[in-house]
Structure 1
């Protein structure tokens, strides 16, 4: 009998009730677990914020380095309060050994801990853009909201929390091999200040793109990187594609979220069918990859 498939849903911050801790991604956890168990009833999903004790950090890093997890969903809301260096070396070892990795952060410098990645994940810090390292950052702002003056570029508005955006499928890929609501497109949660991701390597394929509703510019939504000799890396422009608040605004958000939410998905829950099918497809692809 084979080993049970293992997956990890992890945030890059310690548990903080007033932040985007992993408990705010419970619906994503349910989707991942359901999809994994459909393929193998023994599928196991571990859900955790980044541990605070040395012993727990070492245990996590040992699990990563040993290749325990076939897929890792990494939610990165940190801002200079992310994991220690040992985590990144362990994550690099995991991906080098074949672990598939999904990365989702957000605007400006959130998730800046990812700049610590090297070796087989060296492209992550260029694919995910940060204000502190983007030397030729455009001066114009895609997003301006008097209610959220602290949020600055790089960021793009694709809609309201609780609303949706229509993404164009940019490539034929097994990750997109399911019947969507609109042929050739995916309807997924929107967000008023997504991060910016860019294709920087030949091994990368742009999967999805949307548009800034402020400027009309095309916004890259998802990029898959399938370099030889390591696991897949799937980049998303924001973790709000998967957050509870964006799937069900009644779940609530940290008190620093000031943007007025939409009632779009609450009134029409079927608008979430594509994101559910997409998560299922990612889990299944990683489990068989």
Structure 2
């Protein structure tokens, strides 16, 4: 199984989407047999872990890109690129991957208001590093909210600035959450560096 770094792009903040709000995701990955290190970004310039990701023995990075904060520094981004070039798997939540070579759309949604179709999840596989070696696989998710505790159990509570009323779909039909947990486990298996055979996500 994989050693996974589950990280946000913000510092610890009890009223924002910091790592404490992704505890159920971390628990699910651990229950699947993975070793998970869950942490927030450290305040300051280069993050001491992300900026050395390729040197720390991780197999996967699950990055929850929160709206606020300073995001990634150039050193952080360069280390993530080196990590993938060495075969590491990456899941990023809240990114756009339209028009990227070797990208495959896994799931799409449709706006109930505008009718516009948008990508929910995009897979990246088959990319090559500058030296010609295969890069690690990647998954680009359209939002981190699907992975947050509040989306799995509304009893966990949302951040204070969330104005929308909570949905009731999962409470009414728990099989929806079980299906998403299966998805999480399958993604982690697909991203594992040794997973070169096709794995259904």
Please give the range of the TM-score, normalised by the shorter of the 2 chains: 0.7 to 0.9
Q: Return closer, same or farther for 1:232/1:17 CA change in 2, 3 Å cut-off.
A: same
Deviation at 1:90, TM superposition (A): 1.4
Deviation at 1:199, TM superposition (A): 2.5
Q: Please state if 1:243 is matched with 2:148.
A: yes
Q: Return closer, same or farther for 1:267/1:59 CA change in 2, 3 Å cut-off.
A: closer
SS at match of 2:48: helix
SS at match of 1:58: coil
Ranges in structure 2 where 5+ consecutive residues have no aligned partner: 129-133, 196-201
Q: Please state if 1:68 is matched with 2:60.
A: no
Q: Please state if 1:58 is matched with 2:48.
A: yes
Q: Return closer, same or farther for 1:275/1:11 CA change in 2, 3 Å cut-off.
A: same
Matching residue of 1:200: 99
Matching residue of 1:46: 37
CA contact (8 A) 1:224 1:232 kept: yes
CA contact (8 A) 1:67 1:94 kept: no
Matching residue of 1:21: 18
Deviation per CA, 1:220-259: give whole Å up to 9, x if none.
1110111132111210111111111111111111111001
Deviation at 1:81, TM superposition (A): 2.3
SS at match of 1:223: strand
Aligned length: 188
TM-score (norm 2): 0.85
Deviation at 1:34, TM superposition (A): 1.6
- The separation in 1 between residues aligned to 2:14 and 2:69, in whole angstroms, is 18
CA contact (8 A) 1:199 1:205 kept: no
- The separation in 2 between residues aligned to 1:6 and 1:103, in whole angstroms, is 16
Ranges in structure 1 where 5+ consecutive residues have no aligned partner: 38-42, 106-127, 129-196
Matching residue of 1:211: 110
CA contact (8 A) 1:67 1:97 kept: no
CA contact (8 A) 1:104 1:235 kept: yes
Matching residue of 1:222: 121
Larger Rg computed on CA atoms:
1
- Report the aligned-residue RMSD: 2.0
Which runs of structure 1 show a deviation greater than 6 angstroms over 4 or more consecutive aligned residues? none
